[in-house]
Amino acid sequence: MRLSADAVRRLVSEARVATLATIDPDGRPNLVPFCFALDADTLYSGVDEKPKATKRLRRLENVKRDPRVTVLVDHYEDDWERAWWVRLRGQAAVIDGARRRHGMELLVEKYPQYREDPPTGDLVAIDVDDWLGWSSSPLE
């Protein structure tokens, strides 16, 4: 069943992780789990200090080349009556200045790990223009 707009926003704001899909140069999707904070119609995500081969991440290069992204937030249980998903589509950008500071404040507030070790890499803002959610039973 389709979820209400209020339920979709609640599920997204409470989620700790989601999957981000960007578009590779050859048109294939590139999927990566990511942490985020929601403010109105914008998701913020930073490149943190967890080990990575490089800070020049494919998702950042993809966003700079093609800002169209999709985000999936989902919950699975063997009791399928409790399963749900939310899909968000929007435009992403690597941000700086006041917008970056605002996004960082939201991330630090949401994730205790960032209070001691805030992301120092790029910050991405995703301006969501399409919200869709489904569950097998009412969640409200």
Note the pLDDT tens digit of each residue in 104-118.
999 999 999 999 888
Residue 125 belongs to a domain = yes
The H helix count followed by the E strand count for the chain is 4, 7
C-alpha–C-alpha distance, residues 23 and 58, integer Å: 10
Total domains in the fold of the chain: 1
Tell me whether residue 69 is in a domain: yes
Domain presence at residue 140: no
Q: Measure the CA–CA gap between 124 and 81, rounded to whole angstroms.
A: 34
Q: What is the C-alpha to C-alpha distance for residues 122 and 48, in angstroms, rounded to an integer?
A: 9
**Where does residue 49 rank: exposed (0-12), middle (13-18), buried (19+ CB within 10 A)?**
middle
Is residue 76 within a helix (H) or strand (E), and if so which, with residue range?
Answer: none
* Residue 137: per-residue pLDDT: 85
Q: In this structure, what CATH number is given to the domain that contains residue 110?
A: 2.30.110.10
- Residue 42 lies inside a defined structural domain of this protein: yes
Mean pLDDT score of the chain, rounded to an integer? 92
Average pLDDT over residues 91-116: 95
58 lies in which domain range?
Answer: 5-135
The answer as to whether 61 is a domain residue is yes
